[in-house]
A and B are shown apart, each in its own frame.
Chain A
Amino acid sequence: QSVVTQPPSASGTPGQRVTISCSGSSSNIGSNNVYWFQQLPGTAPKLLIHSNNQRPSGVPDRFSGSKSGTSASLAISGLRSEDEADYYCAAWDDSLSGRVVFGGGTKLTVL
């Protein structure tokens, strides 16, 4: 069990807006930046969001991140079939001296 919690699944229809939550504690999300990764089957994770809400170049603005207190969220607007993937949040954890914690991952299904 991860110290950072995500819902195991989420779903939406094309064009919809969906959000994926990531719940942690004061030692990780509450005091450090949050990262979001997308992983398609059989591929390496792709960085979607860093520093809580910053998109790397090339990531569509349909993807947005936010953080409040010890929780973070990834929002995907204008949902597309190619967004069907696993999504992971991550953060450094100050209680674990230099360690990173990943959420358990959320499988997004586009109906």
Chain B
Amino acid sequence: EVQLVESGGGVVQPGGSLRLSCTASGFSFDDYGMHWVRQAPGKGLEWVSLISGDGGGTYYADSVKGRFTVSRDNSKNSLYLQMNSLRTEDTALYFCAKVLASGIWGQGTLVTVSS
């Protein structure tokens, strides 16, 4: 079964850091680019970042560029999002997703930035 499972969410103070993980199973992980997409409470979907299958290409939304870093470890079938200098507006449910046309998304991990 193709599956994505996120972890690492939690409560963090403004200015703090958090590292999210996404573990993949059921497909050849290194063949696919992977996205992070977030959804603030009661709001719409916002694309955050993309990393290519080999990790050589990374892309970011303007809202997180310079603060977030996406990476992957293909030997572990894992995707990561290192989030630094967190702001209250980063509070959201964070989803990882296989290439958009696949329709494969995780269930999300909640990040709350609050003092």
Contacts and interface: CB of A to CB of B under 8 A. Distances in A.
Interface in A70-111: 86, 88, 90, 97-105
Contacts of A99: 47, 50, 59-61
Contacts of A2: 44
Interface size class for chain B? Answer: 20 to 34
Interface string B17-52: 000000000000000000101000000111100100
Interface in A29-87: 33, 35, 37, 39, 43-47, 50-51, 56, 86
A104 B44 contact: yes
Contact of B35 (A37, A44, A100): A100
B47 A102 contact: yes
Contacts of B2: none
Interface residues of A, number: 25
Interface stretch (B8-16, B72-80, B83-91, B103-111): B103-111
Q: Which of B44, B46, B57, B108 has the most CB of A within 10 A?
A: B44
A105 B44 contact: yes
Closest 8 CB pairs of A and B: A47-B103, A98-B59, A105-B44, A100-B47, A50-B101, A44-B105, A102-B45, A104-B44
